[in-house]
Each structure stands twice: as C-alpha cells, then as structure tokens.
Amino acid sequence: MSAVAFPSQFSPKALEIIQRTNELLATGGYNGFSYADIAELVDVRKASIHHHFPAKVDLVKATVALHREGLRQGLQSLRQSVPDPHARLVAYCRHWAECIQASNPAICICALLAAELPNIPAEVAEEVTGHFNDLQSWLAQTLEEGRANDSIRLTDTPASEAAIFMATIHGAMLSARATGDASVFWKIATLSTDRLKAF
C-alpha cells in the first residue's frame, strides 16, 4: 500500500509523538506505556506531550484514527492499482507480511487493542471497532467483485467470507508474534488467499 498523507491539523512534533505511540501500542498495547516512555523516545518533556494531547486517551484515539486513515488510503490505493480482486487480496497480505518481517509495525495496533476490549476507554474502542468495520466492508466489496468476474470462489456470502478472512489474517499476526516467526503470517495468509482463488 502507498504512503499515507497525514492530516495537516497535526504539527510535525505531534506526528512524531503519534508515530512513537503507534510503536509502543504495537509492542505492549494500551496499558504498556506511559507519557514518560514517549518523552524519552521523542526527547521532549511530558508537559510538551500534554500540550498536544492532554490525556492518554486523546493520544491513543488520535493514533488509532490516523491508523484508520492510513488503512482507508492504502485500501483505496490497492483498489486503483491492482485491478484483479484476488491479486488485490494477495497484495494486502503481502503488505502486512513485509511490515511484520520488518517489525514496522509487527502487528496491526487495532488487532492488539481489540484484545483489550472492553478494558480501554470508549473513545478508543469506537475507533478500533470502526477499523474492523472499514476493513470488513472493503474485503466484502473485493470478494463480491471477484465473484462477479470469476476470479474468486466463495462458499458463503461476501460479508461472511470477509469476516472469516479478516479474522484469519489478524489471527495470523498473533500467531507470528506468539511463535516469534514472521514467516508464519505469510504461510497462513497464503492458505487463506489460495482457498478463495477460482480455478
């Protein structure tokens, strides 16, 4: 997926804080870091972080919202650059395989935060749920398009198959983390896309 154009309402320093927060979320989830950790990574005082984001919930909500915006832009880019629906699914999986291999990030932060529901603030939970809704909608549209042009074979409705695919891909991220083997993600993702390919 292509590079993300971040909204202009965030200053360069705020974006740096968000980027570090994204990294810390991918490592330890919502409760796995503090403003002190970010201050050390960004080399600013905690007061400066509070200036941009008064509370942790504000910072994490902004981080997840930007993650969602990046997802939307990336999926739109895939739709435009990869005409074949099945190849588009493979390209989506390849993007994550490369991220996991490079630990950049090693996991989707929304997948990790979903495991913490309902023990995270409602404002953050709403963004996490929105992420899953966005992704499932894109997957269902892609699967429907593939069924229509005979590049994808479905055994259930596009919505059901999208839910299965999304759960499998996020589960593959967790499996790769649990085993300490990034290649596990690609093996599972390949099996998932292969089962959808029309022969």
pLDDT by residue (tens digit) across 32-81? 999 999 999 998 899 999 999 999 999 999 999 999 999 999 999 999 99
Three-state secondary structure of 152-172: ECCCCCHHHHHHHHHHHHHHH
Q: What is the pLDDT of residue 172?
A: 96
Domain layout of the chain by residue ranges: 65-194
Q: Which CATH class is domain 65-194?
A: mainly alpha
User: Is residue 131 over pLDDT 50?
Assistant: yes
Q: How far is it, in rounded angstroms, from Cα 183 to Cα 165?
A: 18
User: Is residue 137 over pLDDT 80?
Assistant: yes
Q: What is the pLDDT of residue 3?
A: 43
Percentage of residues of the chain with pLDDT beyond 70: 96
Q: How far is it, in rounded angstroms, from Cα 75 to Cα 90?
A: 12
| pLDDT grade for 10, boundaries at 50, 70 and 90 | confident
What Cα–Cα distance (Å) separates residue 146 from each residue in 85, 88, 93, 134, 168?
5, 10, 16, 18, 19
Q: What is the pLDDT of residue 103?
A: 87
Q: How far is it, in rounded angstroms, from Cα 41 to Cα 81?
A: 36
What Cα–Cα distance (Å) separates residue 194 from each residue in 90, 112, 189?
9, 26, 8
Average pLDDT of the chain, as a whole number: 92
Nearest to 185 by CA among 111, 126, 98, 81: 98
Q: How far is it, in rounded angstroms, from Cα 137 to Cα 146?
A: 14
Contacts with 31 (C-beta within 8 Å, 6 or more apart), sequence order: 116
User: Is residue 182 over pLDDT 80?
Assistant: yes
Task: With beta carbons less than 8 A apart as the criterion, state whether 35 and 45 touch.
Answer: no
Q: Does the bond joining 12 to the residue before it have cis omega, within 30 degrees of 0?
A: no
Q: What is the pLDDT of residue 138?
A: 97
Q: What is the pLDDT of residue 106?
A: 86
pTM of the predicted model over 0.85: yes
